[in-house]
């Protein structure tokens, strides 16, 4: 791997084709990855004969990776598996992508509901529309296992450093990240995906953190460039993703109920990733917005434009309505565009009722809050 002196982004950027063979070799021989695959593919055998299940998955992995030696080859290997997964767990649709030039590099700023599936579904939509695949921002808190880091960086993920102590170190990491993204856009190296905030919106309220937008401008030359100069060049496009059902709803609700003192277990993010990938999502809709334009964009203007897209173009499902009705103790149906999905009202309420009583209000609020936000905008208007 090139040194950081030769490549200022070597420790955060996705792997390149020269680095792919070594990373693929590490994955093929990784026992933890084989174990995780056994949990996913052979759970019944894993419970009875764990060593055999792991051995079978290891051999399967070696066969699948044989002959793959580039990033594009790896992504082509993943794509059919992702397609099968989406068909099995979601009814997926998207809108707005047809307005965007496939030959340009866009910086997609998305709401964040699921650790893996938000960017994966965005990537899937873009691939099938003839766009280049995304480079995806991922926090280093999710890369504590070497095989996860290899897997993500092979799949064009770039690293957001969060486990940093000290303001100087944080500023240096933020400038590095900002420089990487700006270079990618200005050199037309392909589209990028980042979340509008750090961490998932577990309460269902999609709000852009101004610090994220301000970070995008840190690569500027303070003597010759303003924040507006940089923001206007980044081709920022808002993206709103809506899930009829959240496979992690009970986990998120339990965390919210526990309050700010809640501490995640060592494998909790991994479990969230697994539930998000394999769980029933019902209908999922992805809405691509218009590029944010302006001669002198401010951080506040960009934040407002992204938040407005989330509120106006987030697709509401009946699950959002039913949660709101139960919390408000009403049968009223607001004058909003609400879509039918795969779940029945009885099945949705049974899903909520199966959760511990203490976390049910938090789970309901998670589903109800997007509808509440849409109502609040209507009242303001």
What are the C-alpha distances in Å from 156 to residues 16, 18, 192? Answer: 9, 14, 9
Domain 70-380 falls under CATH 3.40.1130 = yes
Contacts of 187 (CB under 8 A, 6+ apart): 105
91 three-class SS = strand
Confidence at residue 142, expressed as pLDDT on a 0 to 100 scale: 87
Confidence at residue 3, expressed as pLDDT on a 0 to 100 scale: 45
Helix, strand, coil percentages in the chain from 3-state DSSP, rounded to 5: 50, 10, 35
Confidence at residue 175, expressed as pLDDT on a 0 to 100 scale: 96
pLDDT tens-place values along the chain, 381 residues long: 444 458 999 999 999 999 999 999 999 999 999 998 898 789 899 999 999 999 999 999 999 999 999 999 999 999 998 999 999 999 999 999 999 999 999 999 999 999 999 999 999 999 999 999 999 999 998 888 899 899 999 999 999 998 888 899 999 999 999 999 999 999 999 999 999 999 999 999 999 999 999 999 999 999 999 999 999 999 999 999 999 999 999 999 999 999 988 888 777 888 898 899 989 999 999 999 999 998 889 999 999 999 999 999 999 999 999 999 999 999 999 999 999 999 999 999 999 999 999 999 999 999 999 999 999 986 654
Give the E-state strand segments of 192-253 in sequence order: 192-195, 236-243
- Looking at the DSSP bridge assignments, the partners of residue 108 are 193, 237
Q: How far apart are CA 91 and CA 93, in angstroms?
A: 7
Record the pTM. Answer: 0.93
* Cα 100 off chain centre by: 20
**339 and 378 Cβ atoms separated by less than 8 Å:** no
Burial of 61 (0-12, 13-18, 19+ CB in 10 A): middle
* Cα 29 off chain centre by: 28
Q: How far apart are CA 190 and CA 209, in angstroms?
A: 24
Q: How far apart are CA 218 and CA 227, in angstroms?
A: 8
**297 and 232 Cβ atoms separated by less than 8 Å:** yes
């Amino acid at each position: 791997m090139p040194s950081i002196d030769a490549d200022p982004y070597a420790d955060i950027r996705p792997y390149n084709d020269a680095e792919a063979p070594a990373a693929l070799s590490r994955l093929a021989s990784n026992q933890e990855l084989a174990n995780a695959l056994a949990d996913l593919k052979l759970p019944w055998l894993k419970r009875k004969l764990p060593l055999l299940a792991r051995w079978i998955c290891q051999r399967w992995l070696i066969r699948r990776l044989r002959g793959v030696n580039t990033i594009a080859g790896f992504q082509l290997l993943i794509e059919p598996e992702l397609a099968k997964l989406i068909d099995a767990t979601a009814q997926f649709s998207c809108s707005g992508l047809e307005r965007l030039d496939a030959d340009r590099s866009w910086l997609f700023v998305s709401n964040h509901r699921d650790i893996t599936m938000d960017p994966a579904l965005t990537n899937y939509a873009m691939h099938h529309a003839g766009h280049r695949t995304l480079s995806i921002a991922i926090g280093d808190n999710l890369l504590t296992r070497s095989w996860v880091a290899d897997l993500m960086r092979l799949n064009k993920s770039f690293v957001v450093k969060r486990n940093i102590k000290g303001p100087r170190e944080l500023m240096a990491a933020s400038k590095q990240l900002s420089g990487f993204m700006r270079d990618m856009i200005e050199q037309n190296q392909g589209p990028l995906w980042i979340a509008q905030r750090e961490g998932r919106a577990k309460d269902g309220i999609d709000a852009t953190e101004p610090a994220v937008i301000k970070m995008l401008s840190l690569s500027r030359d303070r003597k010759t460039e303003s924040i507006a100069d940089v923001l206007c060049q980044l081709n920022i496009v808002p993206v709103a993703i809506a899930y009829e059902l959240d496979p992690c709803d009970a986990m998120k609700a339990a965390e919210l109920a526990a309050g700010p003192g809640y501490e995640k277990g060592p494998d909790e993010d991994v479990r969230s990733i697994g539930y998000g990938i394999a769980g029933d999502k019902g209908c999922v809709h992805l809405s691509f917005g218009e590029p944010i334009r302006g001669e002198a964009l401010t951080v506040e203007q960009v934040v407002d434009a992204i938040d407005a897209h989330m509120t106006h173009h987030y697709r509401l499902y009946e699950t959002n309505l039913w949660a709101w009705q139960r919390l408000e103790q009403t049968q009223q149906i607001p004058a909003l565009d609400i879509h039918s999905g795969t779940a029945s009202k009885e099945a949705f309420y049974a899903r909520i009722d199966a959760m511990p009583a203490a976390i049910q209000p938090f789970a309901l609020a998670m589903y109800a809050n997007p509808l509440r936000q849409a109502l609040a905008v209507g009242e303001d208007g």
